Amino acid sequence: MKSHALLFSLLAAPLLASAAPAKTAPGAVALRGARLIDGQGGAPVEDSVVVIQDGRILAVGPASSTTVPAKARVVDYQGKTLIPGLISNHSHVGQTQDANMGAGNYTRANISRQLRQYEAYGITTVMALGLNGPLLQQLRTQQHTGRGPGADLFGADRGIGVPKGAPPTLGGRPVGEDQLARPETAEQARQAVRDMVARKTDVVKLWLDDFGGSLPVKMKPDIYQAVIDEAHQRGVRVAAHIHDLEDAKTIIRAGADIVAHGVRDQPVDAELIQLMKERSVWYVPTLSLDEATFIYADRPEWMAEPFFQRAVQPALRAQFADPAWAEKTRAEPKSEKARKDVAMNQRNLKALYDAGVRIGFGTDSGATPLRIPGVAEHRELVLMTEAGLTPLQALTLATREAATLLGLEDRGVLAPGKQADLVVLDGDPSTDISRTKTIHAVWHRGKQVSGTVDTFKP
């Protein structure tokens, strides 16, 4: 694993140069015959070979020109498609269990279960963007050294919230005192950042939003400016929770590095685009966040698929099956607002993508029971294509670009020298993005860690 300073370099991580495979490679595995989507945006390669050794990709390319080392174990994936493991720039762990939220869910067993679910659904790297307890440090080290099952874990430590403000505590989302800082002064904000950096946080998270006017206050300028200044002095970037266009502009002018949600109150404008491009700010739209508010009450056909059902815990499944819950959800004003927010978010994603703004990939999965780990990420890909991106563009954002946002040089594309994180699919997502759900197997750090999701038990 890269050092902390390198991990969050503000520069885009360069791809490693290709290297010719050794003539013999004891312990090597060759995945042969599949269609290859390498995460770099180019056309798929039909009939490919991927050679893996010691957890890394040794060689990759067309079968006609890629040598399989002697003694390599060959796995026949003819008719399948290979894509890089997906990477979430904005998720959460330990916030939910079954249909409830609360500090008591932040346990080793629950987080490990969620990391296994992310992995089984093809998300091999996860950034837990805030509301983390002290257990994060142990679990992160465990995952990075390959001693724990599930997705590789990065984290934003606790995060910086607002007294009597965001993130809200109503609606069953209480967090422990060791999961969130709510500084009242600039010096308290600086100290909170220093404490998080001492715990080796990967990024600092702050909340700048009044949740549609439902909260009495927003974070004060002297607080968020102190957070950003202190974090930057210590070589750590800042991700900001926003909803509105003006808040996005405000926090970017203050120096934030990552806009952690899409703008949903109005269309983005030339000023925001210019600010983001001039300052190389990343944008993570989280389209599926608002969709989760209403979509399960609509009962789309895909809810009956094993892909969905295997990801849902029993109490949540019972809630979805309750007609009274569905009727109440559809009638709530927040559901109608969420529908409009999804549409605006999609419109703004397309505008920013076309303008050349740096786009990451995330869903806020795990923040509430409705934002289901694994399911949310595949819905995000669908919503991205509905916004006007091609399937290959969406996949590139969820792999190469998501790795670049995190400063990770060792993953995100299927290329020599990279960590061997990949998903084997029965279908071809380059023509139909929903085919990412046809998971046949997941390989993580060079080993097959799961098969079809039909066998996964949440």
Q: What is the CATH number of the domain that holds 237?
A: 3.20.20.140
Residues 6+ apart with CB under 8 A from 151: 115, 118, 119, 123, 124, 125, 126, 143, 444
pLDDT number for residue 25: 66
Same domain (yes/no): 264, 330 = yes
**pLDDT by 10s per residue, the chain, length 458:** 334 443 444 333 333 233 344 455 668 999 999 999 999 999 999 999 999 999 999 999 999 999 999 999 999 999 999 999 999 999 999 999 999 999 999 999 999 999 999 999 999 999 999 999 999 999 999 998 888 889 999 999 999 999 999 998 755 567 888 999 999 999 999 999 999 999 999 999 999 999 988 899 999 999 999 999 999 999 999 999 999 999 999 999 999 999 999 999 999 999 999 999 999 999 999 999 999 999 999 999 999 999 999 999 999 999 999 999 999 999 999 999 999 999 999 999 999 999 999 999 999 999 999 999 999 999 999 999 999 999 999 999 999 999 999 999 999 999 999 999 999 999 999 999 999 999 999 999 999 999 999 988 77
pLDDT number for residue 335: 97
Amino acid found at 369: P
Rounded-to-integer distance, Cα 165 and Cα 181, Å: 12
Same domain (yes/no): 71, 201 = no
Same domain (yes/no): 199, 296 = yes
450 domain residue, yes or no: yes
Same domain (yes/no): 345, 401 = yes
24 domain residue, yes or no: no
Q: How many domains does the chain have?
A: 2
Same domain (yes/no): 204, 306 = yes
Same domain (yes/no): 182, 309 = yes
Phi, psi of 333 (to 5 degrees): -55, -35
Q: What is the CATH number of the domain that holds 42?
A: 2.30.40.10
192 domain residue, yes or no: yes
Same domain (yes/no): 161, 236 = yes
Helix (H, G, I), strand (E, B) or coil at 62: strand
- Return the residue matching tokens 């520069």: 11
Same domain (yes/no): 125, 74 = no
pTM of the model: 0.93
pLDDT number for residue 23: 56
**Cβ-based burial of 455 (10 A; exposed 0-12, middle 13-18, buried ≥19):** exposed
327 domain residue, yes or no: yes
DSSP letter, residue 261:
S
1 domain residue, yes or no: no
Rounded-to-integer distance, Cα 314 and Cα 397, Å: 32
14 domain residue, yes or no: no
Same domain (yes/no): 245, 104 = yes
List the domain range (segments joined by +) for residue 220. 85-406
Which two three-digit tokens encode residue 148?
């724990």
Phi-psi region of 206 (alpha: psi -120 to 50; beta: other; left: phi over 0): beta
pLDDT number for residue 173: 60
How many Cβ atoms from other residues are within 10 Å of residue 299's Cβ? 13
Same domain (yes/no): 243, 265 = yes
pLDDT number for residue 79: 98
Which two three-digit tokens encode residue 175?
């967090």
DSSP 138-190: HHHHHHHTT-SSSSEEEE--S-B--TTSSSP-TTT----TTS-B--SSHHHHH
